[in-house]
Amino acid sequence: MDFSFTREQSEIKTAAREFARGEFTPELADECERNHRFPRELFRKAAELGFVGLNLPETVGGSGLGVFENALVIEEFCKADSGLGMALHLAYLPAKMVKLFGTDAQHQRFLRPLAEGRWVSAVAFTEPDHGSDLTSMNTTLVDDGDGVVLNGTKVFTTNATYADFVVVLAQDDPGARPGRGMTAVLVETDPSSWLGGRLEINELGHKMGLHMTSSGELVFHDLRVPKANILGEKGRGLDVVLGFLDESRIEIAAQSVGNCEGALLKALDYSRRRQQFGRAIIEFQSIGHKVARMWSQVHSAKLMTYYAAWRKDHETAVTAEVTPLFTSMVKHYAPETAKAVIDDAINVFGGYGYFLEQDVERRYRDNRIAEIYEGTVEVQLNNMARLLKKVNLEFVDQTLL
Ligand SMILES: Cc1cc2nc3c(=O)[nH]c(=O)nc-3n(C[C@H](O)[C@H](O)[C@H](O)COP(=O)(O)OP(=O)(O)OC[C@H]3O[C@@H](n4cnc5c(N)ncnc54)[C@H](O)[C@@H]3O)c2cc1C
């Protein structure tokens, strides 16, 4: 076993760290946070340097690398700043669905402008009555000649107000059994791409964190888009979603790894400098132990996430069966661990930790969503328990443990 990065991975991680150090200034973060603004110019710069297209095919200007390399970049971005890091990643994460299930024509149409930083992507599964339960949708998709017509409402769509395209999950067969009869379809937000009807986009109210992204409601009013925009097989939309989540959940875990690494760095620095009772507070055993425990927690989440990413990139037909055991593992563990680490970092800062300037309270607020989106902690544990109930014990013994 070799724990070292390849030379390329090491260079990617260093480049991401240097980019973030230079560009993720406290002033920019503060301005975007206060104005609830997506840093589109920063997204463009990140794309120009190849970070956005790292995991996309070379045919669309990407680098064709894996989930592992993506995770390294996300970690560095979120380590530097939770808000900016998460906003940038969430702008290109949904495009992964096009990479995994799109045709060559869809790759060119949707992924190329994204890899160049000109387009932002979004994904709309969640509806008012369908959150954790994605086995059927109220949003309908009806065949209409060379188009399909969408009606319904989606909520909580990240990037809603500035995304250039949205992957929408809709019900094409209302009589189908749970999990069937749904189709994923690509919807461009530019009205000139529509064949009829309209799409209404409303920003939702104030949220706890993630202020540098929009969270919106999408209302489809007989919106007609080209049939060629169907993503994957018609009627197999849930397969598109699940295939996406197997990769994306690892990258969400990488957000949390970066979020808590940044908090640890700040707490460590502060605990060495802050003097009380004539000594640095890290000299008090309670603070020293706290920082030491944070160190262990950060590494447990980090190594687990690297392992899940590595497994995904080395997946075979046999190991694919148990992939959710590892993606769900890190999707619940890393966000929960990061929450505990960042909470402790706030304590290390004392009263100052409660104020915006230290940037640890924002990390807490930003990180909190990682426990919820792309499936809640409870949903991840359900996924794991479902597999653990039936997976062959000999296989577990010989191959997984
Ligand atoms: C800031 C933000 C950004 C988001 N971005 C997007 C996006 O871009 N696209 C998108 O489609 N969605 C997005 N979401 C939606 C998110 O994925 C859902 O909120 C999440 O999946 C939970 O759905 P829900 O809110 O309807 O809660 P519910 O499903 O109603 O769950 C409520 C509670 O019940 C629990 N629960 C539900 N079912 C079970 C079960 N079977 N077993 C045990 N516990 C259960 C849940 O864990 C939770 O604690 C976003 C949400 C937020 C807040």
Rounded to the nearest angstrom, the distance between the alpha carbon of 314 and the centre of ligand 1 is 30
pLDDT at position 78 is: 98
Torsion of CA 231, 235, 240, 245, to 10 degrees: 140
pLDDT at position 1 is: 87
What's the whole-number mean pLDDT along residues 162-169? Answer: 98
Note the pLDDT tens digit of each residue in 10-26.
Answer: 999 999 999 999 999 99
Ligand 1: which atom is nearest the Cα of residue 133? 29
Query: Is the pLDDT assigned to residue 8 strictly greater than 90?
Result: yes
Asked if 49 and 15 count as a contact pair (C-beta separation under 8 A), the reply is: yes
Identify residue 234 by its one-letter amino acid code: K
Q: Determine if ligand 1 sits within 6 Å of the CB of residue 123.
A: yes
Q: Determine if ligand 1 sits within 6 Å of the CB of residue 230.
A: no
The residue nearest atom 38 of ligand 1, judged by CA position, is 132
Classified as helix, coil or strand, 241 is: helix
Q: Which residues pair with 183 in a beta bridge?
A: 170
Q: Determine if ligand 1 sits within 6 Å of the CB of residue 210.
A: yes
Query: Is the pLDDT assigned to residue 233 strictly greater than 90?
Result: yes
Q: Determine if ligand 1 sits within 6 Å of the CB of residue 256.
A: no
Q: Which residues pair with 171 in a beta bridge?
A: 140, 182
Q: Which residue has the tokens 């930083």?
A: 117
Rounded to the nearest angstrom, the distance between the alpha carbon of 373 and the centre of ligand 1 is 6
* Crossing angle between the packed helical segments 82-92 and 360-368, to the nearest 10 degrees: 30
Q: Tell me whether strands 215-226 and 182-188 are parallel, antiparallel or unpaired.
A: unpaired
pLDDT at position 205 is: 81
pLDDT at position 320 is: 95
pLDDT at position 319 is: 93
Q: Determine if ligand 1 sits within 6 Å of the CB of residue 126.
A: yes
128 is written with which tokens? 């008012």
What's the whole-number mean pLDDT along residues 114-122? Answer: 98
What distance in Å separates the CA atoms of residue 133 and residue 127, rounded to the nearest whole number? Answer: 10
As a residue count, the chain comes to 401
Rounded to the nearest angstrom, the distance between the alpha carbon of 374 and the centre of ligand 1 is 8
Residue of 80, 73, 72, 84 whose CA lies nearest to 21: 80
The residue nearest atom 27 of ligand 1, judged by CA position, is 131
Q: Terminal CA-to-CA distance of the chain, rounded, Å?
A: 15
Q: Positive or negative, the Cα torsion across 287, 288, 293, 299?
A: positive
Note the pLDDT tens digit of each residue in 27-44.
Answer: 999 999 999 999 999 999
pLDDT at position 398 is: 94
- Cβ atoms within 10 Å of 399's Cβ, excluding its own: 12
Q: Determine if ligand 1 sits within 6 Å of the CB of residue 45.
A: no
pLDDT at position 358 is: 79
Q: Determine if ligand 1 sits within 6 Å of the CB of residue 207.
A: yes
Start-end of CATH 1.10.540.10 domains in the chain: 7-115
What distance in Å separates the CA atoms of residue 386 and residue 327, rounded to the nearest whole number? Answer: 14
Q: Which residue has the tokens 């399909």?
A: 148
Note the pLDDT tens digit of each residue in 325-358.
Answer: 999 999 999 999 999 999 999 999 999 999 887 7
Q: Determine if ligand 1 sits within 6 Å of the CB of residue 376.
A: yes
Note the pLDDT tens digit of each residue in 41-61.
Answer: 999 999 999 999 999 999 999
Tell me which CATH code domain 121-234 carries.
2.40.110.10
% the chain with pLDDT above 70: 100
pLDDT at position 347 is: 97
**Tally of helices (H runs) and strands (E runs) in the chain:** 15, 10
Determine phi and psi for 161, rounding to 5 degrees: -80, -10
pLDDT at position 241 is: 97
Ligand 1: which atom is nearest the Cα of residue 122? 8
Q: Determine if ligand 1 sits within 6 Å of the CB of residue 372.
A: yes
| Ligand 1 pocket, mutate which of 38, 132, 213, 241 (most atoms under 8 A from CB) | 132
pLDDT at position 357 is: 79
Rounded to the nearest angstrom, the distance between the alpha carbon of 140 and the centre of ligand 1 is 20
Note the pLDDT tens digit of each residue in 242-251.
Answer: 999 999 999 9
Report the catalytic residues: 374
Note the pLDDT tens digit of each residue in 245-277.
Answer: 999 999 999 999 999 999 999 999 999 999 999
Question: What's the mean per-residue pLDDT of the chain?
Answer: 97
Start-end of CATH 2.40.110.10 domains in the chain: 121-234
Residue of 44, 153, 38, 136 whose CA lies nearest to 84: 38
Rounded to the nearest angstrom, the distance between the alpha carbon of 129 and the centre of ligand 1 is 10
Ligand 1: which atom is nearest the Cα of residue 378? 47
Query: Is the pLDDT assigned to residue 86 strictly greater than 90?
Result: yes
pLDDT at position 230 is: 98
pLDDT at position 252 is: 98
Note the pLDDT tens digit of each residue in 183-225.
Answer: 999 999 999 999 999 999 999 988 999 999 999 999 999 999 9
Rounded to the nearest angstrom, the distance between the alpha carbon of 315 and the centre of ligand 1 is 28
Tell me which CATH code domain 7-115 carries.
1.10.540.10
Q: Determine if ligand 1 sits within 6 Å of the CB of residue 121.
A: no
The residue nearest atom 4 of ligand 1, judged by CA position, is 156
Residue 326's contacts (CB-CB under 8 Å, 6 or more residues apart) are: 250, 307, 308, 311, 312
H/E/C letters for each residue in 61-110?
Answer: CCCCCCHHHHHHHHHHHHHHCHHHHHHHHHHHHHHHHHHHHCCHHHHHHH
Tell me which CATH code domain 238-400 carries.
1.20.140.10
Rounded to the nearest angstrom, the distance between the alpha carbon of 109 and the centre of ligand 1 is 30
pLDDT at position 11 is: 98
- Cβ atoms within 10 Å of 321's Cβ, excluding its own: 14
